[in-house]
Structure 1
Amino acid sequence: MEFLGISLTEWIGYLSSFFVAISFFMKNIIKLRVVNSLGCIFFIAYGVLIDSWPVIITNAVIVCVNFYYLFINRKPHRVKADEVQP
């Protein structure tokens, strides 16, 4: 299946690269990890489609690390002094 002369597999590769690249522009670490995880999930799908275990394993590990920091190792949100309301 192709769209604009590009295969579905390549589109998934481009989409995953896009999300991973965009994640590096995020200032909020939570948003960064969510967007990066989405890109890595697309990379896992891409790795499956091209039958590349290094791509699958690397991105699966990154998703696990992001999951760990998003859900397991959550630190309480610190309120800055100028955000405190009387």
Structure 2
Amino acid sequence: MNPEITTYIGYSASIFIVLSFILKDVRKIRIVNMIGCICFVIYGIFNGMLWPVIIPNGLICFIQIYHLLAGNRKQ
């Protein structure tokens, strides 16, 4: 993939993660944070399999999905 596009994906990931700390609604926080984590996983893959980036963000993404789905069951 084009290195410039990969860089923009990394910047987008950072923006989504920071934005998730600004929001107050927990559901929105989880969704925005999950988007940031997905972007970081993509960034890690296209930058030569950066496992220290891919693994934690992949795990956080699954945790966010779990809590989003578990939250829907409680309501």
Q: CA deviation at 1:54?
A: 1.2
One-letter amino acid matched to 1:59: N
The alignment-based identity, stated in percent, is: 41
Superposition misfits of 4+ residues, deviation over 2 angstroms: none
TM-score in terms of structure 2 length: 0.88
Inter-partner Cα distance in structure 1 for 2:43 and 2:56:
12
Question: Which residue in the other structure is 1:56 paired with?
Answer: 54
1:44 maps onto 2:41 in alignment = yes
Inter-partner Cα distance in structure 2 for 1:56 and 1:18:
17
Root-mean-square deviation (CA), in Å?
Answer: 1.2
One-letter amino acid matched to 1:70: L
Question: Which residue in the other structure is 2:7 paired with?
Answer: 10
Counting helix residues as a fraction of each chain, which structure ranks higher? 2
Q: Quick one: higher RCO (CA 8 Å, sep 6+), 1 or 2? A: 2
One-letter amino acid matched to 1:58: P
Q: Count matched residues.
A: 71
Larger radius of gyration: 1
Question: Which residue in the other structure is 1:84 paired with?
Answer: none
Inter-partner Cα distance in structure 1 for 2:65 and 2:30:
8
Inter-partner Cα distance in structure 2 for 1:22 and 1:35:
7
Structure 1: 5+ residue stretches without partners = 77-86
**Matches of residues 45-84 of structure 1 in structure 2 within 5 Å?**
45-50=42-47, 51-71=49-69, 73-74=70-71, 75-76=74-75
Q: CA deviation at 1:9?
A: 1.2
Q: CA deviation at 1:26?
A: 0.7
